[in-house]
Amino acid sequence: MVSDLANGVGRIIPFVHKAQEQTIDDDVDLLDSVIRRLFDLAIDTAEFICSYVHRSPLSRSMTVLNDSNSDG
């Protein structure tokens, strides 16, 4: 009985291994697209924040202060 079970498992394992590899490949493909979207979102957010800070009144006043200090 144990040898029959071992033979049965031995016949199933190659199929399980293939199914597992395919599932892992599908998961990696899914994660790849999610990671790319997160990366694009991080870049877009950083660009927005940098442009906002660059255009902010505080940034302009700091530039005026720096220019007046360098003249003196």
Domain boundaries, the chain: 2-71
Query: What's the confidence (pLDDT) of residue 64?
Result: 59
| pLDDT-derived band at 62, boundaries 50, 70, 90 | low
pLDDT given for residue 47 in this prediction? 94
Distance CA 69, CA 19 (A): 69
Separation CA 40–CA 30 (nearest Å): 16
- Residue 70 is predicted with a pLDDT of 61
Type of residue at 11? R
pLDDT at residue number 43: 95
* 12 — pLDDT class (breaks 50, 70, 90): low
pLDDT in tens, 14-58: 666 676 677 777 777 788 888 999 999 999 999 999 998 888 877
